Structure 1
Amino acid sequence: MIETICHYNLEVMLMHTQEDLEVLESEEVSVDEELNRELVVFNDDVNTFEHVISALIEVCEHSPHQAEQCTWIIHYNGKCAVKTGTFDELAPMRNAICNRGISAEVL
């Protein structure tokens, strides 16, 4: 009798857990779609390190160290995701960076 009750409770817990996971997954998808954007800055042969660092500090509110690290990644990898957020948050930053002559996209 005890084994039957325990087995029944385990099945109920497993079913409940599966339902919870399905709800969490559907909620995560909608949140991820909204927040899963990146502001990507691309390398070029025109802008100096100092100019890109200054733009990241002013526009993205990076610390000087963070801006320098991103600039090195841009230099060596050709691009770097410098900020994440919603499209509405990142679009004005992209425009401000592009207005400084630096290539950037929200992806």
Structure 2
Amino acid sequence: MSTIEKKSESIDVLEQLIKDYEIVLYNDDINTFDYVIDALINVCEHDLIQAEQCTMLVHYKGKCAVKTGSYEELKPKCSKLLELGLSAEIQ
């Protein structure tokens, strides 16, 4: 393996370590707009306008990235959204 390949591989590993992840919230036919808005305010620390906008995007586009950060930061937030009956995953 050449020096250039080693450096490239090291950069790829480093980028994966510092990469921000995101919680993606998916549309469902169960939860109301108000319920989802309240969940985003309480769990993801959105303000009212941001929560409303994300909820509208989820409704009309089918999904929306609602929070970005490290995996360790997002895991409990995503778990809480799932506990509340929302459909979400970390990507």
Q: TM-score, normalised by structure 1?
A: 0.71
Q: Which runs of 5+ in 2 are unaligned?
A: 1-6
Is 1:80 equivalent to 2:52 in the alignment?
A: no
Is 1:106 equivalent to 2:90 in the alignment?
A: yes
The residue aligned with 2:26 is: 42
Which residue identity lines up with residue 70 of structure 2 in the other structure?
A: T
Q: Which runs of 5+ in 1 are unaligned?
A: 1-21
Is 1:56 equivalent to 2:43 in the alignment?
A: no
For these two proteins, the number of residue pairs brought into alignment is 84
Instruction: State how far apart, in whole Å, the 2-side matches of 1:93 and 1:79 are.
Output: 17
More helix by share: 1
Identity of aligned residues (%): 50
Q: What's the Cα RMSD here?
A: 2.0
Is 1:94 equivalent to 2:72 in the alignment?
A: no
> Secondary structure in 2 aligned to 1:91?
helix
Q: TM-score, normalised by structure 2?
A: 0.82
Instruction: State how far apart, in whole Å, the 2-side matches of 1:43 and 1:33 are.
Output: 30
Larger Rg: 1
Q: Relative CO higher for 1 or 2, CA cutoff 8 Å, sep ≥ 6?
A: 2
> Secondary structure in 2 aligned to 1:47?
coil
Task: For residue 92 of structure 1, report the CA deviation from its aligned partner.
Answer: 0.3
Instruction: State how far apart, in whole Å, the 1-side matches of 2:69 and 2:15 are.
Output: 11
Task: For residue 34 of structure 1, report the CA deviation from its aligned partner.
Answer: 2.8
